[in-house]
Amino acid sequence: MAARAGVGLKTVSRVVNGEPGVTPDTERRVQEAIEALGFRRNDSARVLRKGRTASIGLVLEDLADPFYGPLSRAVEEVARAHGALLINGSSAEDPEREQELALALCARRVDGLVVIPAGDDHRYLEPEIRAGVATVFVDRPAGRIDADVVLSDNYGGARGGVAHLIAHGHRRIGFIGDMPRIHTAAERLRGYRAAMEDAGIAVEERWMSLGATNPERVRRATEEMLSGADPVTAIFAGNNRVTVTVIRVLAEQSRPVALVGFDDIELADLLQPGVTVVAQDAAALGRTAAERLFRQLDGTLLAPERIELPTRLVTRGSGELPPAV
Amino acid sequence: MAARAGVGLKTVSRVVNGEPGVTPDTERRVQEAIEALGFRRNDSARVLRKGRTASIGLVLEDLADPFYGPLSRAVEEVARAHGALLINGSSAEDPEREQELALALCARRVDGLVVIPAGDDHRYLEPEIRAGVATVFVDRPAGRIDADVVLSDNYGGARGGVAHLIAHGHRRIGFIGDMPRIHTAAERLRGYRAAMEDAGIAVEERWMSLGATNPERVRRATEEMLSGADPVTAIFAGNNRVTVTVIRVLAEQSRPVALVGFDDIELADLLQPGVTVVAQDAAALGRTAAERLFRQLDGTLLAPERIELPTRLVTRGSGELPPAV
DNA sequence: TTGAAAGCGCTAACAT
DNA sequence: ATGTTAGCGCTTTCAA
C-alpha cells in the first residue's frame, strides 16, 4: 500500500484519516494508490489500538414488538449523532439470553450498553462497568446493582387509568397483565390496587390475572372475568399485547365493557369505540437513556440516577363507557 | 494474566477458548487467575487475527416502521443460529446515508451485509464484495450490480388486489403510493395499471398519486380523488403508511369507499369495515435473505439469484364494498 | 502438555 | 512534511 505510493506507512494513515501535515501532491499520489489497490481500512485494528469502538449495544426484549421499534430507533439516532453504530439483540424475555448477549457485546468492546432487562440480577455486569463500559437500563430497573435507570411512571400511569374507570362509575374492574416477575407488570398492578384502594373498593382475586401475554391466555382470562355471577364491567389491560387481544374478545361480547390499555396502539382511535390508553413515549425513553449513556462516556461522570418519564391518558371512548347493567 | 497463574500466555488462551491439551490442574489455576483479575477477552484483537467477526450488518429504512421490525427480528434469529451478532442502522430513505452506513459496517469487517436499498446504485459495494463480504438485498433490488435479491411479488400482489376491486364492480379506482423512485412503489403501480388494462379500463391521471407517505400528503391526495365530478369509488393504498392515513380519511366520508391496502396492519380486522389487504410476510423476507447470506458465507458459493416471495390477499370487508352511487 | 515468537492492521510517540 | 518504532491483545506456528 505504502510502497505503491512510494511513501511511508504513516503517511498513508494520515491521508486515510484526513490528518494535517501532508502535501497536496503526496496526498494525491496516496489517494491514487488507495483507489488502485482497493484499500479498505480495518476498524478492528483501529479499535484495538484506540480503545474505543464508536459503537454501543442495545439489549431489548423483541425488536418486532411495536413498542421497541421506536425505542430502538431513538437510541440509534442518538448514537448516530455521536458517530456511533448500534448493535442490538433480542433477549426474548430470557434472563440467560440477556446476559449472554450483554457479555458478547462487551467482548466486542462496545463503548456502552443500553439494556432493557429480562432478568433481575445484573451483577454479572459489574466487572464490565468497572472496566469502563457505560451502562444504562431502560423500561425496567437494574437488579442488585447501582446504575442509571430510565423508566416510565408505570405505577402512576396505571393508577390514573384505573381511577379514570372508577370515575366513570365502574367498581368491578379487571386487571390483565404480564408475568409478575416483570417489573413493569408488577408496578402497573400496584397502581391498579392503589386506585382501587383510594376508592374504597375491595379487590377480588378473580379480577386479576397476570401471566404470559400470548393471545390464548389473555383471551381465556378475559372471558373468565366476563362470565359468572358478578362479571367485571371494565378491564385495564397491562400492555399493548394484552390490549389487542382484549379488544378482540370485547368485540365479541353482547354488552359493552369499558377498557383502558397501557401503551398506545396504532389505529386505536379508529376502532368503535376508540380505545382509551395510558400512553408512554417509547422514543423519549430510548432517547433519554442513550443521551445519558453518552454523557457517561463524555466523562461528565454523574452518579447513577433514576429518571421517571410521565405517561399520558388519552381518552377515546372505550374508557368512558358507563358500567353495563 | 499468565504470570499470575504461573503459566504461559498460550495456555491461558487455550483455557479461555476451551481448547484441548491442558491438564485439569493447570486449567483450574488459570480459571482462578481469570476470576481474580477479572479477565475479559477482547474480541477486537481476536477478529484482527482470525479475519472473521461473527457479525452481520443490516441496513434498513426505519427500524420504527412496523414492517421492518419483524424483518429485522427474523434476520437476527438467523444470525443468532449461526452465532453471529446483528449490527443495524436506518438509512431513513436517504441513499447517501445508506452508503455511509454500509461502508461503515464493512470497515467494521462484518462478515455479511443485508441491505434494504434506499439508493439505486450499489456499485460502491463492489470492492467490498470482491473482498469477500457476503451481500444480500431485500425488499428492493440492487442497482447496477449483480447480487442476491429477495423480494415480495409487488407487481403480482398489487395486480391481484386491484383486480379484486374490479371484480366487485369498481371502475374508477385510485392508486396512492410511495415515491416512484422506490422500486416497490413503482412495481405496485405497474400492477395497478396492468389490472386496469386487463379490465379494459382507461386509467386517468388524477387517479394516481405517488409521493412521500407522510399523512398530510396522503390525506390531500385521497381527498382530491374523492371530490369532483367523477370521484373514485375505490382506493388501492400502496403501503402500510398510506393505508393508515387513507382509513382515517375514509372514516370521515359520508358515502362508503372501497379500500385494499398493500401490507397487513395490526387490528385491520377489527375496524368497521375490516380492511382488506395484500399481505406480505416481512419475517419470511428477512429469514430468506439471512439464510441466503450465511449460505454465501458457508462457501456454498452460488450464483446471484432473484427470489420472489408470494403475497396473500386477505379479504376483510373494505375491499368487497360495492361502488357507491 | 506447554511455551516462545511472530504478526494480524493500525496509530501514538517520537524521530528526521 | 514525512518516516520509524513499538505495541494494542490475540491466535497461529513451531519448538520444547
> How far apart (Å, rounded) are the C-alpha atoms in residues B44 and B207?
56
Answer whether any strand D atom is within 7 A of the Cβ of B48: yes
Nucleotide C8's nearest residue (CA vs C1') is B49
The string of pLDDT tens digits covering residues A232-251 is: 999 999 999 999 999 999 99
Closest CA to B150 of B86, B80, B241, B71: B71
Residue B317, CA distances (Å) to A117, B251, B264, B275, B323 in order:
41, 14, 14, 6, 13
Give the pLDDT confidence score for residue B7 in this predicted structure. 86
A143 CA from D7 C1′ (Å): 39
Give the pLDDT confidence score for residue B131 in this predicted structure. 92
- Report the range of poorest mean pLDDT among A122-136, B11-25, B121-135: B11-25
Mean pLDDT for B87-96 is: 94
Amino acid present at A37: L
Report how many Cβ contacts below 8 Å link chain A to chain B: 137
Which stretches of chain A score pLDDT less than 70? none
Contact B65/A at CB under 8 A: yes
Contact A44/B at CB under 8 A: yes
Q: Which residues of A touch B42 (CB under 8 A)?
A: 48, 107, 109
Nucleotide D13's nearest residue (CA vs C1') is B10
Contact A96, A124 (CB under 8 A): no
Distance (Å) from the alpha carbon of A45 to chain B's nearest alpha carbon: 6
Nucleotide C11's nearest residue (CA vs C1') is A49
Which of A64, A107, A251 comes nearest B43 by C-beta?
Answer: A107
Q: Which residues of B touch A68 (CB under 8 A)?
A: 69
Q: Which residues pair with B307 in a beta bridge?
A: B150
Interior angle at CA A7, CA A6 and CA A10, nearest 5? 155
Q: Do A88 and B90 touch (CB under 8 A)?
A: no
Q: In what order do the strands lie in the sheet with A276-279?
A: A208-210, A173-177, A234-237, A258-262, A276-279, A312-314
Contact A35/B at CB under 8 A: no
The string of pLDDT tens digits covering residues B227-257 is: 999 999 999 999 999 999 999 999 999 999 9
Contact A108/B at CB under 8 A: yes
How is B63-85 classified by DSSP, letter by letter?
TTSTTHHHHHHHHHHHHHHTT-E
- Which cell numbers in the block locate residue B308? 420472489
Q: Which residues of A touch B271 (CB under 8 A)?
A: 267, 270-271
Q: Which residues of A6-21 are buried (b: 16+ CB within 10 A; e: fewer)?
A: ebeeebbebbeeeeee
B33 CA from C6 C1′ (Å): 26
> How far apart (Å, rounded) are the C-alpha atoms in residues B52 and B85?
12
* Confidence tier at B284 by pLDDT (50, 70, 90): very high
Contact A93, A118 (CB under 8 A): yes
Give the pLDDT confidence score for residue B57 in this predicted structure. 97
Q: Which of residues 6-25 of B touch strand C (CB under 7 A)?
A: 6-11, 20-23, 25
The string of pLDDT tens digits covering residues A266-305 is: 999 999 999 999 999 999 999 999 999 999 998 887 899 9
Q: Which residues of A touch B251 (CB under 8 A)?
A: 270
B129 CA from C1 C1′ (Å): 42
> How far apart (Å, rounded) are the C-alpha atoms in residues B77 and B88?
14
Q: Which residues pair with B312 in a beta bridge?
A: B279
Give the pLDDT confidence score for residue B6 in this predicted structure. 80
